[in-house]
Structure 1
């Protein structure tokens, strides 16, 4: 990237719309717009104040291309920290292309993916984790993912990493200073205080690492596997949840032989429901492969929905055997047992099943719900239970949550180095050996916020952005 070049890109989605926004950033942005913009007021836009909007015509010589609004943001008080101009034009793709071609002819070049935000990072307008939050905010499609992205963009995560790194850096400096006075055997870093600091950092890193399991699923969607015997109503349930005929429903057992996935937003949280092949003994090779996939999906799922047929649940031993088959295999995984087709049994039989299952419902991470997927009765109770088992506390108490796998990886590596330093302290290692692991921990923490970067790292991150942001 050459910061001396002025870049241009369409900032709104391509296609026809009421308006489109074309963005320029760089040292020549205001001079270039001054060559092609005629203000209605007759004033020269180069002389106007920052953060002002001007109505006029965009012209190519004597030819008026469009009536536009031009917004001016002068450095350093702009998104990128450079001079920025935003042109709001009519949303015709033809007009958009005319304007962009004109600006390219006047000296701009096309921006690459994420280059505006990359310039904001390089000019100190945000750190790297905040820049990544911009991309998360653009792609957020639920209240939960939006809230997590906004929190990270405000700098809560960055502040905590900066504080941890600053404390560690202070002691690292003292350790390094000791190396300069190795012959005098001088100790500048108080080992007792350093031990306490390492314990605090280890605890903080552990908390952040653990938060990833909740943060990642809230950001990307909670996988929920729907399992059970063939023809128990799994596909009907998926269709009921989605309010559309997504899966084929048939009285023929074994209709679903592969997994079917779809997503739905429930209470501001995105869930990814997975309809699986029915579990049973079969000689059919294709169906057997589908059943293998069912167990794979159960392993990957955050929550398992086990569907049982109401009439069969009148046999308590059979029902208990079906439940134990899943709960024993995945003891720590939340399990909701859905007793389906309650519309096919009497009210007395419903009460009988409910009485027998009371003890099971009191087990941690397990719940029984009676419903009819066909009639959509009991669906509200299922939704409430799903939301109740998701750790939305992280959204409500404003705590820092890790949602980015790159951050998770760097935090894990940093903690490993901190553990090595702790072990070295216990073994009485010399300052020069301790300094090696401390430097590595500082390196990994610096990678998160961008205090330490490489061209490859920046290339990988910003390549995932949309052009114009």
Structure 2
């Protein structure tokens, strides 16, 4: 049921600023606003056209609160599909609260988190996946996550799902029709064409499911752990990557006793670098705790950078091979990038000898000087290679939402049952059950199948005012 109350909330971030926007939405939004707004031109805003802006004052019992701009958007041609009024006032927190309290006294109620977008969904202005993309767009902090959110908000993902669902629904109708004429033993659905459709749906679902691995890291950033023995230059490398003095650097081994995290955007992809405490045997209690946290961070990371000291490697090559094997064996599924640091202190021949020795371990080896910022660009390119950005460049649909991913997996399972049924020649009534289940999971994504609990969980994560 679509709510009838008129809601109000601050649409801009809370706190003082140059301008603040207070948003009203509901059947009586324009009427309520007219009770507190006086146009400088004397116009009655209840009689004005949609998508117009009016200069005036907010008044209450002869008291003027502020000079404002009032924007009118009449339903259904508004964000929520209802009458919407936006009041642009000065950004004083006192003014904001006075106007909101005044509107509440006139009959509006405070909006819940995400209630404006919820109403847009309930009024058919957005489907559910588009509504969720609004939250992703607000949260996007790099070019790639912004691009994906924009594509989904424009309906790229939901259009693809809706098209597949419509085609499947057409065949489902024919299958259901066959059940009505079961005694005549007729087939209305062309089994060959249906088989082709099911295979095409299976292909698309698998592609969308596979894209989640890329979409998830783009949306949340890729955690990269920088590990190695004390004083090999981990903090210097972090500073070189970020191009700022983020971590404390000294010649004293064990200076970094806790993990330090910061994010860097490389060609639109967010990487979250974690500078960890040096791994070594120690009796220092505080340093031991830091080393334990290092292994915990490696567990959480998706890429591990193992930093080696080129000067030390000349003396202890075998020890470092053991260290590399230890990391590989402990975390066999994580991409490992081995970096040879401080190469500016060696000759070219010495670097090449070490390189040949380490490359026998079949590892990606990069030579750098973190202090001189040599080889940093090669490292960035290597990190980018772990992300399939081709999908972004080709504007392909990428799944970033865990709920969508779960529904796609369930839909794929049902589609594969349908495919097996077609190949096995099972009866139409059994096949119809699996088709209905697949349609159900498709509908869950776009919101054609939903419930109050699901909507509550989704929109509770929105910010107030959106």
1:57 corresponds to:
57
Once the two structures are TM-superposed, the CA of residue 320 in structure 1 deviates from its matched residue by 4.6
Question: How far 1:231 moved relative to its partner?
Answer: 3.0
Q: Which moved more, 1:374-383 or 1:77-86?
A: 374-383
* RMSD value, Cα: 2.5
- Greater CA drift, 277-286 or 221-230: 277-286
1-side partners of 2:250 and 2:71: how far apart?
A: 59
> SS state of the match for residue 35, structure 2?
helix
Q: Which moved more, 1:37-46 or 1:266-275?
A: 266-275
> Which runs of structure 2 are paired with 1:405-420 in the superposition (5 Å)?
405-420=402-417
Task: Find the residue that maps to 1:124 and give its secondary structure.
Answer: coil
TM-aligned CA distance change 1:188 to 1:284, over 3 Å: farther
Question: 1:156-305, aligned counterparts within 5 Å?
Answer: 156-249=156-249, 251=251, 253-254=253-254, 256=256, 259-280=259-280, 294-295=294-295, 297-305=297-305
Question: Per the alignment, in what secondary structure is the counterpart of residue 148 of structure 1?
Answer: helix
Give how far 1:266 is off.
2.5
Q: Does 1:385 align with 2:382?
A: yes
SS at match of 1:262: strand
Question: CA 1:400–1:288 in 2, change beyond 3 Å: closer, same or farther?
Answer: same
- Which residue among 389, 394, 397 is the counterpart of 2:391? 394
Q: How many residues are matched? A: 465
- Deviation, structure 1 residue 48: 1.1
Normalised TM-score (structure 1): 0.91
Where does 1:277-356 land on structure 2 (aligned, <5 Å)? Answer: 277-280=277-280, 294-295=294-295, 297-314=297-314, 319-327=320-328, 333-354=334-355
Q: Secondary structure at the match of 1:403?
A: coil
Q: Which residue of the other structure, out of 453, 458, 461, is the alignment partner of 1:461?
A: 458
> Which residue does 2:143 correspond to in 1?
143
Contact 2:2 2:123 in 1 (8 A): no
In the alignment, which residue of structure 2 is the partner of 1:5? 5
Aligned to 2:418: 421
1:450 to 2:450 alignment: no
Q: CA deviation at 1:83?
A: 0.6
Offset of residue 385 of structure 1:
2.4
| Shift in alpha-carbon separation, 1:429–1:62, aligned structure 2, 3 A | same
SS of structure 2 residue aligned to 1:146: helix
Q: Which runs of 5+ in 1 are unaligned?
A: none
Contact 1:19 1:90 in 2 (8 A): yes
**Structure 1 residue 378, shift from structure 2 partner:** 2.4
Name the counterpart of 1:368: 365
After TM superposition, give the deviation of residue 356 of structure 1 in Å. Answer: 5.2
| Counterpart in the other structure of 2:121 | 121
Name the SS for the 1:272 alignment partner: strand
- Per-residue deviation, 1:216: 0.8
Deviations 1:218-244 (CA, angstroms, capped at 9, x unpaired): 111011121223332223322333345
- Greater alpha carbon shift after TM alignment, 285-294 vs 378-387: 285-294
Alpha-carbon deviations, 1:136-193, whole Å to 9, x = none?
Answer: 1111111111111111111110110001111111111112122222222222222222
Q: Is the 8 A contact 1:312 1:318 kept in 2?
A: no
The equivalent of 1:88 in structure 2 is 88
- Distance in 2 between residues matched to 1:432 and 1:296, nearest whole Å: 52
State the Cα distance separating 1:297 from its structure 2 match: 4.0
CA separation in 2, counterparts of 1:416 and 1:280? 48
Q: Distance in 2 between matches of 1:285 and 1:184?
A: 82
Task: Note closer, same or farther for the CA distance 1:377–1:159 as it changes in structure 2 (3 Å cut).
Answer: same
Question: Could you say if the C-alpha distance between residues 91 and 289 of structure 1 is closer, same or farther in structure 2, counting changes exceeding 3 Å?
Answer: closer
- Secondary structure of 1:27's aligned partner: coil
For 1:157 and 1:109, locate their aligned partners in 2 and report how far apart those are by CA, in whole Å: 34
Q: Which range moved further: 306-315 or 51-60?
A: 306-315
SS at match of 1:113: coil
Give the secondary-structure state (helix, strand or coil) at the position aligned to 2:177.
Answer: helix
**TM-superposed deviation, 1:17:** 0.7
Determine helix, strand or coil for the equivalent of 1:68: strand
Q: Which is further off, 318-327 or 447-456?
A: 318-327
Which residue in 2 is equivalent to 1:132?
A: 132
